[in-house]
A and B are shown apart, each in its own frame.
Chain A
Amino acid sequence: DIQMTQSPSSLSASVGDRVTITCRTSQRITTYVNWYQLKPGKAPKLLIYAASNLQPGVPSRFSGRGSGTDFTLTISSLQPEDFATYYCQQTYSTLWTFGHGTKVEIK
């Protein structure tokens, strides 16, 4: 299985802050990484696919980078609606796996 090491597991930030979440994979997976946002009681939302492609309708303050084994999700200016849990996912192997999540909380 491809392991996804996501960090940090949680962070506290203020509105307007720049936030970066990292995902490291146990083997090289080109750009087969996606990022999702989860909020309690709501359907999960795709933010970024194939490492750096912004899903239509997602605000441009979200961006993704990386290839090989190291990937990042960045929120350039945190907004109140961005407080949520974020997950990376790899779809390189036939067994798709997720990171353990990063909870973004209000400072």
Chain B
Amino acid sequence: EVQLVQSGAEVKKPGESLKISCKGSGYTFNNYWVAWVRQMPGKGLEWMGIIYPADSDTRYSPSFQGQVTISADKSITTAYLQWRSLKPSDTAIYYCARLEDIVGAYFDYWGQGTLVTVSS
């Protein structure tokens, strides 16, 4: 069974750093791109970026380029989303998702989401 299991909720202060994780299982992790998607409170979904774990090829949405870092450790089948200095506007639920691209491109499996709260 394909699963993406994300790390737990975080409460941070502005300026702090953070790295959240997404562990894939039940499939060949290296062979599928893993994306990150943001949902701010009361808002819709925004695609942030995507990584190919086999070679760490990474693409970012222009809105998130330079604001976050996406990485992966294929040895432990885990993808990461990282901030160097959090802002209150980073408060959101963050989802990871697996990309399937047999017919078009779509996110066929999703993690359960990680709630990040940034507040002083």
A: residues with CB less than 8 A from B are 31-32, 34, 36, 38, 41-46, 49-50, 53, 55, 87, 89, 91, 94-101
From the candidates B4, B44, B59, B100, name the one contacting A94 in the complex (CB within 8 A).
B59
Q: Taking beta carbons and an 8 Å cutoff, which residues of B are in contact with A?
A: 4, 44-47, 59, 61-62, 95, 97, 100, 103-113
**Is B103 a contact partner of A53 (Cβ separation < 8 A)?**
yes
Instruction: Please indicate the chain A residues that have their CB under 8 angstroms from the CB of B97 in the complex.
Output: 44
Residues on the B chain within 8 Å of A50, using CB? 103-104, 106
Give B98's nearest chain A residue, CB to CB.
A46
Given the interface pairs A32-B105, A49-B103, A87-B45, the reply to whether A43 lies near B110 with Cβ below 8 Å is: yes
Q: Is the CB of B105 within 8 A of A91?
A: yes
A76 to chain B, nearest CB (A): 22
